[in-house]
Amino acid sequence: MEMSAGNFFYRVERSVKDDNVEALVVVLNMMAEEIQEAMVHQGYVQAHGTIKHIVQMSFILDIKGYIEATNQRTCSILSTLYSEIIEKPFITFLDESSKVKWQNIRKTLEQKGIYETSVELTFKTKSNLVVPSACYITTFKGEHSEQKKTLVTVVHHSNDRDRLEKDLKRSVIKSEKKKKPHFKKPKIRLNHEDIRKLSKGRDIIINNLEKDFPSLKDFALQIGTNEFKLKYGFKELYGTSVYRFLKNERLRKSKMLVQYSDLHIKTIAHMTGFKSIPHFSRSFKKRYGYTPSALRKKSL
């Protein structure tokens, strides 16, 4: 019901059972993650201004860890009235594993003055759905108050890490461009038929991740266009090159299979088009910060 309403950040809590219901839970969670990623970094034509991160929830906590204020979206996500959130311990809205994390963070917050950190916490709604979240935690003091406050901001990130890094380096690149001759990229005008063909090509890539990818020239002929339009039109439409898109999708699918399936790591590597385990492991760690085996242990 939440997905039908357009809320794709919810997940159904996993159990230790091995039955049809648990299989359905895995499929639902995978589908929600697929759609969520598509909405964030593939849903825009001319995607130069694509959203990088979205603030979902914010909490201001007092020195004892009780909630003093929150934003309106928090009430919607947690399916809870504002009056039922205010003056309640922050820890009551977390799942069991995150409660342990939060208790450890609280000890650190009490020992240090002004402190900043980030951590992954999982919130639990009234209807027992879970919301895995990246949380940024910082302490501060008001102008007329001696008591320390804590700000917890819950952010959803796009997985398009390359674009994030590109934005961070933009100021440096801009200064370098002033010193060098400017090369203007070819301007592509895409009509409805071009967009349809490129969209078809994108679907072919996603549905054949395990197969060897042909040359750009052969792939362009396969979808009924030319190499020039495929190369520059694909980047104009989806904000990235064909080969980078292929690599990103292979890694994204492998991440979901590592987290939500019991398949062997070697099998997942071959299913997503990686020819060797070392190459798969290196690429995976560079993208997500964990090796596939380490992420599986973390997920379990």
Q: Would you state the pLDDT for residue 46?
A: 40
The packing angle between helices 216-223 and 192-207, to 10°, is 120
Q: Is 46 left (phi over 0), alpha (psi -120 to 50) or beta?
A: left
Going by pLDDT thresholds of 50, 70 and 90, the confidence category of residue 166 is low
pTM summary value: 0.47
Q: Would you state the pLDDT for residue 44?
A: 41
Please determine, for residue 64, whether its predicted confidence score (pLDDT) is greater than 70.
Answer: yes
Whether the Cβ atoms of residue 59 and residue 87 lie closer than 8 Å to each other: no
> What is the average pLDDT across 42-60?
59
Torsion of CA 156, 159, 160, 164, to 10 degrees: 50
Please determine, for residue 143, whether its predicted confidence score (pLDDT) is greater than 70.
Answer: no
Q: Which two tokens stand for residue 218?
A: 């052969």
| Nearest CA-CA partner of 46 in 245, 233, 194 | 233
Q: Would you state the pLDDT for residue 265?
A: 92
Q: pLDDT exceeding 90 applies to what percent of the chain? A: 26
In the chain, where the domains are located: 53-157
Where helices occur in the chain by DSSP H, the ranges are: 20-41, 72-78, 82-85, 96-111, 161-168, 170-177, 192-207, 216-223, 227-228, 234-238, 242-260, 265-271, 277-288, 292-299
Q: Would you state the pLDDT for residue 45?
A: 39
More confidently predicted of 188 and 51: 188
The packing angle between helices 242-260 and 292-299, to 10°, is 40
Please identify, in words, the CATH class of the domain defined by 53-157.
alpha beta
Going by pLDDT thresholds of 50, 70 and 90, the confidence category of residue 244 is very high
> What is the average pLDDT across 202-220?
90
Q: Would you state the pLDDT for residue 88?
A: 92
Residue 58's DSSP bridge partners are 153
Q: How far apart are CA 70 and CA 60, in angstroms?
A: 6
Q: Would you state the pLDDT for residue 164?
A: 46
Q: pLDDT tens across 118-138, in order?
A: 888 999 888 788 888 888 898
Q: Would you state the pLDDT for residue 51?
A: 45
Q: Would you state the pLDDT for residue 9?
A: 74
Q: Would you state the pLDDT for residue 248?
A: 92
Q: Which two tokens stand for residue 237?
A: 């439409």
